[in-house]
Every structure is written in structure tokens, then in C-alpha cells.
Structure 1
Amino acid sequence: MNIFLDYASLSILFIVLLIFIYGLIIVHDIPYEMALKRNHPHAEAIHVAGWISLFFLHVLWPFLWIWASMYNGDKQAWLGEKDKVSAQEYSSLVARINELEKQIKE
């Protein structure tokens, strides 16, 4: 009976260790999955950096999360990037600013 408990505890320890390693690999791959979902242009670089992060105890992982979430796949643009203003809109904005400056000086 004692030998049975030894093998049972060893198998439970082995199963828990396998689940832990599998979970660690799944968690490290989250930024890459985010990048694929958003059609990120650097998805493969994020994936490689995620594997490298495994060897550095996931120190890079929060930065990979930020990097993956900074790209908006729907607009094909980086988050925080403003829509580009056309030359005509720019000139009208400059004219409006000059007009407001004149009103302030008066």
C-alpha cells in the first residue's frame, strides 16, 4: 500500500508540473495571438520575442503585450495616431488660426 501512495503522489506531481508548463506556454503566447487577431505587421517578431521572454522569466512579456495592443487592425494604424489632414484642410486650419490670432490682438 505504501508503494502505491508513492507512485500516486509522483504521478500527481508529474501531472501538475505538466499543467504548469503548458499554462506557462499558453500565457506567453497571448501577445502573439492578439497580434494575429489585429493583423499586426510585427506579429512574427512578437512571437519570437515571446519565446525569448521565456528564457528571461517573462520580463519582456508586459512590453510585448503593449506592443501587440498598440496596433489597430481595423484602421491599419497605430493607436494614438491621428488621422492625416489633407493639404486643403491644413491650409484652412492655418487660415483660421491666423484669423483667431488677429482677433486676440485687437
Structure 2
Amino acid sequence: MFLNYFALAMLIIGISLVVYTFIYIHDIPYQIAKKRNHEQVEAIHLACWLSLFTLHAIWPIVFIWAVMKPKPLSVKIEGDEKSLIEQRLRTLEAEVAHVRAALTPHQKEIA
């Protein structure tokens, strides 16, 4: 009788350890990303949980993603392009100001 309870306890402990280890292994990419101050740490954490529910099918991809550090974009802008961008920016700012001015009376009516 005692051996039956002991076997049941060992079975429960064993299953608990397997589940804990399974979850711990799937959380490794998140821990790596957090340690390296990865810019997409929350997305990696979500992908870790997603890989847990897909039976670790995407786990290797998430691991590589966590280890990689995204390179910052470097864009070379020449003088003519810079003036065109600044002109376009001024135009867009004027359009936004115009839209805000048109919406202001409507917002007061709603409130």
C-alpha cells in the first residue's frame, strides 16, 4: 500500500519537473533578449509562448532572433534629397495643421 502512494508521489513530482523544464527551456530566448537589451524583447517573449503552444516548432527561429542584434538603419541623404524631404515635411505639417483646425469645432460640439 505504501509503495502505491510512493509511486503516485514520484509520478506527480516527475510530471511536474518535466512540465517545469519544458517551460523553462522555452523561456531561454526571452532571458537572452532581456540580458542583451534587445529592442524587441516583448515580441520575443510572446513568440516563446507561441512556440510552447506549437510544440516548439518555431523555437529555433525565436532563439536566433533573440541572439541577433538588429542593426540600425543608416540612410545616406544628399543635399538635394534633404531639401526635398524638408519641403515635403513642411507640406505635411501644414496639412496636419489644416485638418486639426477643421476638426476643432466638431470636437467642441461633441464634448
With normalisation by structure 2, the TM-score equals: 0.63
Q: What is residue 67 of structure 1 aligned with on the other side?
A: 65
The SS at the match of 1:40 is coil
Q: After TM superposition, where is structure 1 displaced by more than 2 Å over at least 4 residues in a row?
A: none
Give the length in aligned residue pairs: 77
Q: In the aligned structure 1, how far is the partner of 2:50 from the partner of 2:62?
A: 11
1:15 is displaced (CA, Å) by 0.2
Q: What is residue 56 of structure 1 aligned with on the other side?
A: 54
- The residue type paired with residue 44 of structure 2 is I
Match of 1:12 among 7, 10, 13: 10
Q: In the aligned structure 1, how far is the partner of 2:49 from the partner of 2:63?
A: 13
Instruction: Indicate the structure with greater helix content.
Output: 2
Q: What is residue 26 of structure 2 aligned with on the other side?
A: 28
1:50 is displaced (CA, Å) by 0.5
The SS at the match of 2:37 is coil
Q: Which runs of 5 or more residues in structure 1 are unaligned?
A: 72-76, 88-106
Q: What is residue 74 of structure 1 aligned with on the other side?
A: none
- Give the fraction of aligned pairs with identical amino acids, expressed as a percent: 47
